[in-house]
Chains A and B, each alone.
Chain A
Amino acid sequence: EAGVAQSPRYKIIEKRQSVAFWCNPISGHATLYWYQQILGQGPKLLIQFQNNGVVDDSQLPKDRFSAERLKGVDSTLKIQPAKLEDSAVYLCASSLASNEQFFGPGTRLTVL
């Protein structure tokens, strides 16, 4: 069974630029999560989707971050414009309902 796929694996941008990350969850997983993991800390939930609907985006900085899952499968997370403090690993995870979450390899973002 294929795992959660993410791309790109690494991205370096300058502050004020825009960036987008892509996630393809495990087939059949209705729930998709985006997490931000700053160096030395545990992951922090940014947004949770159930199919194509948003369940929780309370910690998403909506002035600059946006995410969508239009067809209830793949998802994209966008940052526009990026700030230095956005440098982190962005993890995507998926699960069947609220069961065990399966994580992708993450995208390491560096903002210069």
Chain B
Amino acid sequence: KNEVEQSPQNLTAQEGEFITINCSYSVGISALHWLQQHPGGGIVSLFMLSSGKKKHGRLIATINIQEKHSSLHITASHPRDSAVHICAGPNGGSQGNLIFGKGTKLSVKP
């Protein structure tokens, strides 16, 4: 069974700061997911990546398969980035079955 750990659990930043959220997992995976959950809202998929780096606007996700580690970076952070950011990887069982980290609660102050 895959174990997914995230750090930090909570993160407070000033608007404009560069933010990094880390995720490590215990079992080799084919792809890792980064998700965003706003208060009271559902979950939005940010990235699904299996190698290297992906970029979407101010968001960048990287993954190192050998080290079983991924990072989510936010450049020029903004208060609307405030949300819980969750990484998830395959559980090793049925295809598509994900196991989620506990999430990183990000708060960006204006």
Contact = CB atoms under 8 A, between A and B. Distances in A.
A42 B43 contact: no
A31 B96 contact: yes
A56 B93 contact: yes
Interface residues of A, number: 28
A58 B99 CA distance: 13
Given A91-B43, A105-B41, A48 B100 contact: no
Q: Range of interface residues on chain B?
A: 20 to 34
Interface of B: 4, 33, 35, 40-45, 48, 86, 88, 91, 93-103
B45 A102 contact: yes
Nearest to A31: B96
B33 A56 contact: no
Contact of B96 (A4, A42, A48, A106): A48
A21 interface: no
Given A42-B101, A43-B100, A55 B42 contact: no
A40 B102 CA distance: 7
